[in-house]
A and B are shown apart, each in its own frame.
Chain A
Amino acid sequence: MAEQFKDSASALASTFVPSKGEQWLSAQRKQGSAAFSGAAMPSRRIEQFKYNNFNDLLKQNISLAGASDQALVAELTAEIPGLNAHRFVFVDGVFQPELSSATDADVSATAFSTADDAQQAVISDLLGKLVPEGDRPFVALADSLLDDGVLLEVAAGADLQKPVQLLSVRTTTGVATPRLLVKIGDGARASVIEQYQCADGVQAFDSAVSELDLGANAELHHYRIALGNDSYTHIGTSVAHQGRDSRYRAYVINTGGAINRLDHVVDVRGSGSNSQMFGAYLARAKQQVDIHLCVEHAVPNCDSQETYRGMAAESGKAVFNGRIQIHKDAQKTDAQLSCRNLLLSNKAELNAKPELEIYADDVKCAHGATVGQLDPESIFYMRTRGLSEEKARALLSYGFINEVLLAMPLEPLADFLRTPMDAFFANQDNS
């Protein structure tokens, strides 16, 4: 079964012509093809895919995304009220300069297809370099079908007042490989929103890769949002590479999706750094959501805090795998992971695996994980105040996830996310 997927993807890669026709990245594609054909396809026997069910995807003959539906593009790229962001838009995996805007001298976006020699050098230096080694079939697939991505650069020392929104929308079926490179210069501060969405009912498949490089003393607020629906398969890999004394804040939201998976790597390579990750993952109907977080503490004197909230309702399946690795030299590391989950239905499934791998002694590491259900006493309390059982449950569920939304400094974005959250909590059939 997996052969069908693999063969069709390999065939696609062998005849692949990028949409803008540029050739200078063909070496990267070749390398990706080779890695993909050598990679084992996801199965329950492979640890990193143990809890995923890829059967629906793997029996597909995959094809490239076709012509975009312009009406859907307009709908999906509507601006978030009050956000006032620099916008860079991908439609069905291809960067759209005409939908993009930057009015700040400190931030520049370059499409791979229009990069000049100097920019090509920057892109080549970064592309694929931050992704840690290991079996990553979907990164290999994205490499083999590498299309027109974008390089976003924030100048050293800049303090961006407006957030930068990188929006990727899907309007047609087929595979897309949106690719982002983000380079935050030394001492710069920026908020970057990486957002993936798909029109309802469109059987789209994303293999998205983003690489973010934080210079020394840089600060990045990274909002990584994938709003799924029952037909959308989104498999993303995000790698943040932290320089000395840098500060990285990630806000990860994965809701719904036929499969909505994020492999999130935070690679702490500069000492004195701080990393804070907040995340929420929600599944209902027959959706699968999955967050694989890996924090690599490679240098001393860093700290990280990870706060995750998961929820599985109806027949949904939620997976959290949070791995903190403390390398030999990473003395004085302080890492704390908390992962709390609600299992709302008897048909739903929740799998959590917080891992610690520690090779240094002078460290403080802890993780806590819980799986439970809504407190019956709280529900009762609300019912005595006149709320219906359903309302009470929705409200409590919302409160559970809200911790992550409240942590977001960008309030307009948090408000925008409350709509899909409300829809998620409403009318659940957890019988």
Chain B
Amino acid sequence: MSEHTDLIEAELASEYEAGFVTDIESESLPPGLDEDTVRAISARKKEPQWLLDWRLEAFAAWKTMEEPEWAHVDYQKVDFQALSYYSAPKSQADGPKSLDEVDPELIRTYEKLGIPLHEQKMLAGVVAVDVVFDSVSIHTTFKDTLAKAGVIFSSISEAVQDHPEIIKKYLGSVVPARDNFYACLNSAVFSDGSFVFIPKGVTCPMELSTYFRINAMNTGQFERTLIIAEEGASVSYLEGCTAPMRDENQLHAAVVELVALDDAKIKYSTVQNWYPGDAEGKGGVYNFVTKRGICKGDNSHISWTQVETGSAVTWKYPSVILRGDNSVGEFYSVALTRGRQQADTGTKMIHLGKNTKSTIIAKGISAANSENVYRGLVRIAPTAEGARNYTQCDSLLIGDTCGAHTFPYIENKHNSSVIEHEATTSKVSDEQLFLCQQRGIDTEKAVSMIVNGFCKDVFKELPMEFAVEAGKLLEISLEGSVG
């Protein structure tokens, strides 16, 4: 096996391609966090008083909270006073009116990352992109096409100005400000993020996408995404992220809220490739994210798909609250850890409505000295008659110095529900490799095929463009699948 392992490790040891730094003048708040920081962020964004009050209330609550210790991760605690809570490219201080005004250096950054901002270059025009650089949204493409369909897709700061009534109604309705330590911090200091509103009966004409990049040094990124699908609406949303290679740890503490009303459908896909730190565990992004959706209406549907390959430390549980009757929650995840990465990720499915269904497919791959944890909760409330859950979580271990762990919680309070949970952990089996080799497939290809098969259930859930990107990201790939 050692020969195979070497091959895999060689592949895994490949460089972090998105690790360059964009040399751009930026304007940041000085490091430090107090009430004035919160006021300063709010003032810069010319926010209404109610939002400032909401932030300040969250900040007051945050000061009384303690950093959670329960996750299976070990890291140098964040010094919240050493971080800067706002950083924006200087030339954008007044906000670009069109793409021509965007700093060419920025456009080059995104081109390097493979995200063209020019609409005409987009793949047959099927994806609209909102781009967030450090603390601000740089540009949102295809705004007009979307507006024709009635879809609002903009940065959340713009939405605060343009659609305050919607923001006021839904902000913090799924993830309350006091939900947890990092969500609370985010509520106080969130800088920007995406806002999507799909009105009643509309099927969003194209995929929506946000690309996040942390560039500035010692900056925390606190974005906030809010997606609302009204009755009968549907949308597919993609999210991607990268950061430069830096020796210091960068903090990313986002909050994502999804609201699906009757018969609405939201599909949220993430390819997360924050800088994971070097092989010795120096640097890398702390990814402490709260993502939650609520199936508020009957027959609604929320689906999370995530491919997690980056970040030094990940702490992330995209969840669904199944409140409407017959609503459906799904979670598909591939998490790859290598080097000294630590990932504690999974989901929560909270069944409240009748005949609610949830499916969880989680695949973990750990290599080198990494730790990979699946942590999940399935809760059937006494009101959830006829609820159904199926969970499968599989782990693949590559090398004998990594760890793969499974901590599923099953809490059942209704006797008409059916819950199934399965988990397996193994290495790439010698028998499978042998079988492939017997048929003339070389080791490298065989490993690739096996890993590909292992992740297939999740990759088939991704939109095509992202499936390709995910495949590249996993880097064991030979043929663009995952591996």
A residues neighboring B (CB under 8 Å): 47, 51, 328, 331, 341, 343-373, 430
Cβ of B423 and Cβ of A354 under 8 Å apart? yes
Chain B contacts of A347 at CB under 8 A? Answer: 382
The minimal Cβ–Cβ distance linking A354 to chain B, given in whole angstroms, is 6
User: Apart from A347-B382, A358-B404, A365-B426, what 7 extra A-B contacts exist at CB < 8 Å?
Assistant: A352-B410, A354-B421, A363-B425, A369-B420, A369-B421, A371-B419, A430-B415
- What CA separation (Å) do A369 and B410 show in the bound complex? 9
Question: Is A356 within 8 A of B423, CB to CB?
Answer: yes
B418 A372 Cβ-Cβ under 8 A: yes
Query: Could you jot down 16 A-B contacts, CB within 8 Å?
Result: A328-B400, A341-B412, A346-B414, A347-B382, A348-B415, A350-B412, A351-B410, A352-B421, A354-B406, A355-B405, A356-B405, A356-B425, A357-B405, A365-B425, A367-B422, A371-B418
Residues of B within 8 A of A344 (CB): 415
Q: A47-B70, A355-B406 are in contact. Are A365 and B424 (CB under 8 A)?
A: yes
B395 within 8 A of A: yes
Tell which of A356, A367, A368, A371 touches B412, judged by Cβ atoms closer than 8 Å: A371
Q: With A353-B409, A368-B421 as given contacts, are A361 and B398 in contact (CB-CB < 8 Å)?
A: yes
Residues of chain B within 8 A of A361, CB atoms compared? 397-400, 402, 427
Does the CB pair A351–B411 fall under 8 Å? yes
**Nearest-CB distance from A266 to chain B (Å)?**
19
Task: Across the A-B interface, give the 9 residue pairs with the lowest CB-CB distance, nearest first.
Answer: A361-B397, A356-B406, A371-B419, A366-B424, A369-B421, A352-B410, A365-B425, A343-B415, A357-B405
Chain A residues with Cβ under 8 A from B420's Cβ? 368-370
Q: Write out the residue numbers on chain A whose beta carbons fall within 8 Å of the beta carbon of B413.
A: 346, 348-350
Q: Is the pair A353, B422 in contact by a Cβ cutoff of 8 Å? A: no
**In this assembly, does B310 line the interface, its C-beta being within 8 Å of a C-beta of chain A?**
no
Known contacts A358-B397, A361-B398, A367-B406: A372-B425 contact under CB 8 Å: no
The tally of residues in B whose CB lies under 8 Å from a CB in A reads 35
CA–CA, A205 to B395, complex, Å?
42
CB distance from B433 to the nearest CB of A (A): 13
Bound form: Cα–Cα A98–B420 in Å: 51
Query: How far apart are A245's CB and chain B's nearest CB, in angstroms?
Result: 23
Cross-chain contact B412 with A358 (CB below 8 angstroms): no
Interface pair B408/A373, CB less than 8 Å apart: no
The answer, yes or no, to whether B24 is at the interface (CB within 8 Å) is no
- Residue in chain A with minimal CB distance to B405: A357
Whole-angstrom distance between the Cβ of A331 and the nearest chain B Cβ: 7
The reply to whether the CB of B403 lies closer than 8 angstroms to some CB of chain A is yes
Give the residue name and chain of the A residue nearest to B426 (CB): A364
Whole-angstrom distance between the Cβ of A129 and the nearest chain B Cβ: 28
B194 within 8 A of A: no
A369 and B415 contact, CB distance less than 8 A: no
Nearest B residue to A372 by beta-carbon distance? B418
A354 vs B423: C-alpha distance when bound (angstroms) = 9
What is the CA–CA distance of A367 and B416 in the complex, to the nearest angstrom? 23
Contact A349 B416 (CB under 8 A): no
Q: How many A-B residue pairs have CB under 8 A?
A: 117
**B residues within 8 A CB of A328?**
400-401
Q: Which residues of B contact A331 (CB under 8 A)?
A: 400
CA distance A343 to B418 in the complex (A): 9
Chain B residues closer than 8 Å to A365, beta-carbon distance: 424-426
* Separation of A349 and B410 alpha carbons in the complex (Å): 10
Which residue of A362, A369, A370, A372 is within 8 Å of B1 (Cβ)? A362
**Nearest chain-A residue to B401 (Cβ)?**
A328
Minimum Cβ distance to chain A for residue B361 (Å): 15
Checking A360, A364, A366, A371 against B423 with a beta-carbon cut-off of 8 angstroms, the contacting residue is A366
Task: Return the contact of B425 from the options A348, A354, A366, A370 (Cβ within 8 A).
Answer: A366
Q: A355-B407, A356-B405, A359-B403 are in contact. Are A371 and B422 (CB under 8 A)?
A: no
Q: Indicate whether A353 sits within 8 Å of B407 (C-beta atoms), given known contacts A346-B382, A369-B421.
A: yes
In the complex, A373 Cα to B410 Cα: how many Å? Answer: 15
The reply to whether the CB of B326 lies closer than 8 angstroms to some CB of chain A is no
B417 in contact (CB, < 8 A) = yes
User: Given the complex, which residues of A lie within 8 Å of B416, measured CB to CB?
Assistant: 346, 373
Provide the bound-state CA to CA distance between A363 and B397, in Å: 9
Of all chain A residues, the one with the shortest Cβ separation from B425 is A365
CA distance A369 to B423 in the complex (A): 9
* Closest Cβ neighbor of B423 among chain A residues: A367
Contact A371 B410 (CB under 8 A): yes
Per-residue CB contact flags for chain B residues 377-408 toward chain A (1 = under 8 Å, else 0) read 00000100000000000010111111111111
Assess whether A349 is in contact with B423, with CB atoms less than 8 Å apart: no
Instruction: Tell me the complex Cα distance, A355–B422, Å.
Output: 11
Provide the bound-state CA to CA distance between A346 and B418, in Å: 13
Q: Which residues of the partner chain A approach B427 to less than 8 Å between Cβ atoms?
A: 361-363
Q: How long is the Cα–Cα vector from A187 to B240 in the complex, in angstroms?
A: 60
Asked if B412 and A343 sit within 8 Å, CB to CB, the answer is: yes
Whether B415 lies near A358 (C-beta < 8 A) is no
- Nearest B residue to A348 by beta-carbon distance? B415
Measured between beta carbons, the chain B residues less than 8 angstroms from A356 are 395, 404-406, 423, 425
What are the residues of chain B within 8 A of A363 when measuring CB–CB?
Answer: 397, 425-427
A359 to B372: give the CA distance in the assembly, Å. 10
Q: Which residues of B contact A341 (CB under 8 A)?
A: 412
Question: What's the least CB distance linking B5 to chain A, in Å?
Answer: 8
In the complex, the answer to whether A368 meets B422 with C-beta atoms within 8 Å is yes
Does A360 contact B422, Cβ atoms closer than 8 Å?
no
Please, which residues of chain A bring their CB within 8 A of the CB of B402? 359, 361
**Beta-carbon contact of B415 and A373 below 8 Å:** yes
Q: Which of B398, B401, B404, B425 has the most CB of A within 10 A?
A: B425
A346 touches B423 (CB 8 A): no
**Which residues of B are found within 8 Å of A354, using beta-carbon distances?**
406, 408, 421, 423
Question: In whole angstroms, how far apart are the Cα atoms of A356 and B70 in the complex?
Answer: 16
A51 and B410 CA atoms in complex are apart in Å by: 11
Other-chain contact of B417, A343, A360, A367 (Cβ < 8 Å): A343
- CB under 8 Å from chain A, chain B span 96-143: none
Q: How far is the CA of A365 from the CA of B408 in the complex (A)?
A: 15
A353 pairs with B415, CB closer than 8 A: no
Nearest residue, chain B, Cβ from A367: B423
CA distance A350 to B426 in the complex (A): 29
Return A397 CB to nearest CB of chain B, in Å.
Answer: 13
The reply to whether A357 and B418 form a contact with Cβ atoms under 8 Å apart is no
In the complex where A361-B397, A371-B419 touch, is A351 in contact with B409 (Cβ < 8 A)?
A: yes
The reply to whether A358 and B421 form a contact with Cβ atoms under 8 Å apart is no
Cβ contact of B403, chosen from A51, A346, A351, A357, cutoff 8 A: A357
> Which of B405, B408, B419 is A353 in contact with, Cβ under 8 Å?
B408
CA distance A362 to B411 in the complex (A): 32
Contacts of A358 in B (CB 8 A): 395, 397, 403-405, 425
Chain A residues, CB < 8 A from B1:
362
A354 to B374, CA, bound (A): 12
Beta-carbon contacts under 8 Å, B226-267 to A: none
A369 and B407 alpha carbons, distance in the complex (Å) = 12
Question: Assuming the A-B contacts A358-B397, A361-B402, are A349 and B412 also in contact, with contact meaning beta carbons closer than 8 angstroms in the complex?
Answer: yes
In the assembled complex, the CB of B426 is this many whole angstroms from the nearest CB of chain A, namely 5
Output the least CB separation between A308 and chain B (Å). 13
Q: How far is the CB of B431 from chain A (nearest CB, A)?
A: 12
**In the complex, chain B residues whose CB is within 8 Å of the CB of A367:** 406, 421-423
> How distant is the Cα of A371 from the Cα of B411 in the complex, in angstroms?
9
Task: Give A364 to B395 CA distance when docked, in angstroms.
Answer: 10
Closest to A346 in B: B415
By the criterion CB–CB under 8 Å, are B414 and A351 in contact? Answer: no
